[in-house]
Structure formats: C-alpha cells, structure tokens
Amino acid sequence: MKGGIRLLTTAAIVALAIAALRLPAPQPRRPGELLPRRWFQHDTLERGETLSEVLMRRGLTGSEAAEVIAALPLDPRRLPAGLNIEVSGDTASTQARAVRFFLAADRIVHVVRGDSGWVGSEERIPWKTDTLVVRGVVSSSLYEAVEAGAKDLLPSNARQELAWNIADIYEYRVDMSRELRTGDALRVVFERQSLPNGAVRIGMVIAAGLERAGTEVQAIRMDVNNGRSKYYDQQGRSLAASFLRSPVQFRRISSMFGNRKHPVLGTWRQHQGMDYAANSGTPVRTIGDGTVIFVGRKGGYGNAVEVRHPNGYVTRYGHLRGFAEGIRTGAHVSIEQTIGYVGMTGLATGPHLHFEVLVGGVQKDPRRVLQPTAGPPLVGEDLKLFQAIRAAAVWSLDQPAGVVVHAP
C-alpha cells in the first residue's frame, strides 16, 4: 500500500482485463425508458375445476398450462380445493415467467420458465422455535384465560390452538367446558414456531399447571418406550385414566345436571344428565372402553347409543343425527372412538348431545361418578428420569410470562 492506493501487479491487471472481456457490455438505457416491472396475479383452485382451467384463466395458453403441470414435482391430481396459486411475470413480455403453488405456510412449489422449458422445484421453509411461558387466570373460560395471558405473544388462531391443546392434555382430569371456576389459574410452557412470512403455530406443550380451588395439577411431558409422549402429574402418575371427562372434544356445555325447565315440554323436571351444544354433525365419542347395548330410536332421546363399561356403568348418548359406521348392538368400542354425530332428533330444540351416566340402572350426576382418577404411576428408572425432567419443567413454569428460550 502506497499513498493509500493499492498497487496491482502486471499479472493482476491482465487477469482483470481478460475478465472484463468475458462480461457482456452494459447496454445504455434510452432517456425516459423504464425498467421492466414485475406483475403478479393470484387465483384459487376451486372444487371440481382442473389446474389447467385456473392457469388458463390467469393468461397461460393451453400448451403452457400443460407444460407447467408436467413440471410439477408432485401429483397434480392430489392438489386440494382452495389451493392458492400465483402467476407472475414482468412488463418486458406478455408471457408468464413463473407459477407458485402455496401448499402450506412452509411448503411452496415453484415452476419457472427457463430457456429449455418450465422447471419445477419444491421449497421447504424452516420453522424457528422459541420456548414460551404463558400465564392466565380464569374469569369465564379456558379460552378467556389463554386469550388474556397470550395476547401479546401469539396471534388469535395460535391462542385458540394452545387453549385446545391444554384441554386435550387435561381431558381425563377436567372438563374444561364446565369444571373451571373463576379464579382458577393456568401456567404453561410450550414451543412457538414461526416463519419469516409471519405464520405462527403451536409446537410441543412441554409442561402445564392448572390450579383449581387452590390445588395445582401439573402435566409434565415425557417420552415413553414406544417413542410417543405422555403427560404425567407431579407424582409421576399418568394423566390418562379409564374415562374421558367429556364425550364431545370441541365442546361447550349448555345445561347442567339438576332441575331445569325442559325446552320442549315446558315443564320442570329432573334433567338426568349433561347437554353439550355443538354443531350438527360434530363427532360424539365414547368416554371409555365398553360394549354397545343399544342403538336406535329411544323416545324423547331420539337417536341414541348406550354403552356398558367394564365397571358396570352405562353411558347414554342422545339426540344423535346418526350413528358411526360399525356401531351396532354387541359391538366393542374403545375410549375416544366415534359412535355417532350431534343432531337434534327427539325432544330437542337445537343441535346438541344429551349425555347420561347410569349406575345400577339409575341416572347419576356425571360430575360425581366420573371423578378424575390417576392412571398407572411411573416406577424404577422411569420415575428417576421423570423426576429430572419435572425439575427442569417446573423451573420453566416458574419463569415470568414471555420467551424463556429464543430461537437460534
């Protein structure tokens, strides 16, 4: 370096001159001439229409559409209705230069026009994962508690997804639609996954704590021998048990056990069960293993199914729109198996499920007879491993709300 100027050797000068000769000469732009501008057109694959129809509607010729479809790195017959499609080009030509198929938030198929025709490729966008803590206090519902606790951390759809994930984890212990009370507290450690385009989804729920009437039931995730994961309470007992707490997964209860005015008969009578309001066609599941002892029409219950369980309990599911395939008298059913669909047959003013539990042939309050019970406990080395996992999970649960571990 001399006088702030770097001296080049003769060899370097010759190399630069040769490289310059290989580059195309820059083309001067005429005064007032505009650079080509990109243009984009969006469309949706509707039910019953072909991909060719969509592409031709966006300006491609029939032969161009056929070439794009042939270049797809997937079976075009498996593209779902509602698929978003983008056709793009620039003002230097009337021809489309590229087509993008948005299969999912993290999966895009590109088909680009090249010198030798259209070439397809698939792009997988990696999700970034943070670990977060959310806290909430119930004033009306689980939704409300999660909404309030996560409003600054998650978009609306992800808050809803988190609420249902929590409900699923605790579904053997708590019916979130009817057993939460004002003042119950929730804390949860989970993974938040995000993409550069702003998409957010809920990943693994690592641990949770649900405090009801001053007592907290923790849910700690641990992998088991078959590679699946299960949740255990703080004593290492499985949260799974013999009975689910609700026969409808996405549920909201409309009537409690006890005295109420019958909506059709208009008289006060003992309402021997629980009503779950849900959209017509919502799957109804059996709350435990058992044998079907009745399928058919049953007076004011309308279409009904009755299941006898190994402990002698009978569960009854009424007002069904219809029955699931294979549900017949004598059939064995497993816990969570769909046995019918919400309807409004019999004495019903709107679509809902009427659910009863009978003990010794007598209707009993489902809240009392389906008291939450713990599943089998961990023992030996599994228990030691769980205790170590729980110690780390509880540390995370004790952290302030927000991000505990940032994505790398």
What pLDDT band is residue 269 in, cutting at 50, 70 and 90? low
pLDDT, the chain, mean: 87
Domain total for the chain? 3
Residues 208 and 99 in one domain: no
Question: Does residue 28 carry a pLDDT above 70?
Answer: no
Would you say 201 and 193 are in contact if contact means Cβ atoms under 8 Å apart?
yes
- Say if 66 falls within a structural domain: yes
**Backbone dihedral region for residue 183 (phi beyond 0: left; psi -120 to 50: alpha; all else: beta):** left
The percent of residues in the chain predicted with pLDDT above 70, rounded, is 86
- Say if 257 falls within a structural domain: yes
Q: What is the pLDDT of residues 332-363, one digit of tens each?
A: 999 999 999 999 999 888 899 999 999 999 99
Q: Which of 35-39, 195-199, 239-243, 391-395 has the lowest mean pLDDT?
A: 35-39
Q: How far is CA 181 from its chain centroid?
A: 26
Of 198, 201, 194, 188, nearest to 132 by C-alpha is: 188
Give how far Cα 219 sits from Cα of 22, 192, 306, Å.
Answer: 67, 18, 32
Residues 256 and 364 in one domain: yes
What pLDDT band is residue 388 in, cutting at 50, 70 and 90? very high
Structure tokens given for 311: 């402990």
Average pLDDT over residues 122-146: 93
Question: Does residue 118 carry a pLDDT above 60?
Answer: yes
Residue by residue, DSSP assigns 162-227 as: HHHHHHHHTTTT--TTTS--TT-EEEEEEEEEE-TTS-EEEEEEEEEEEEETTEEEEEEEEE-TTS
Of 190, 142, 203, nearest to 167 by C-alpha is: 142
Domain edge (last residue) among 105, 124, 143:
124
Cα dihedral 264, 265, 269, 273 sign: negative
For residue 392, what pLDDT is reported? Answer: 95
Residues 352 and 278 in one domain: yes
Domain edge (last residue) among 78, 100, 124:
124
Question: Does residue 4 carry a pLDDT above 80?
Answer: no
Q: Which of 54-58, 126-130, 247-251 has the lowest mean pLDDT?
A: 247-251
By the 10 Å C-beta count (0-12 exposed, 13-18 middle, 19+ buried), 67 is classed as: middle
- Better pLDDT: 266 or 107: 107
Residues 141 and 224 in one domain: yes
- Say if 3 falls within a structural domain: no
Of 377, 343, 187, 180, nearest to 275 by C-alpha is: 343
Give how far Cα 256 sits from Cα of 168, 309, 367, Å.
Answer: 21, 23, 10
Structure tokens given for 344: 């409004």
Q: Which domain holds residue 332?
A: 252-369
Residues 274 and 347 in one domain: yes
Structure tokens given for 205: 């729920």
Question: Does residue 103 carry a pLDDT above 50?
Answer: yes
What pLDDT band is residue 119 in, cutting at 50, 70 and 90? very high
3-state helix, strand, coil in the chain (%, to 5): 20, 40, 40
Domain edge (last residue) among 124, 155, 177:
124
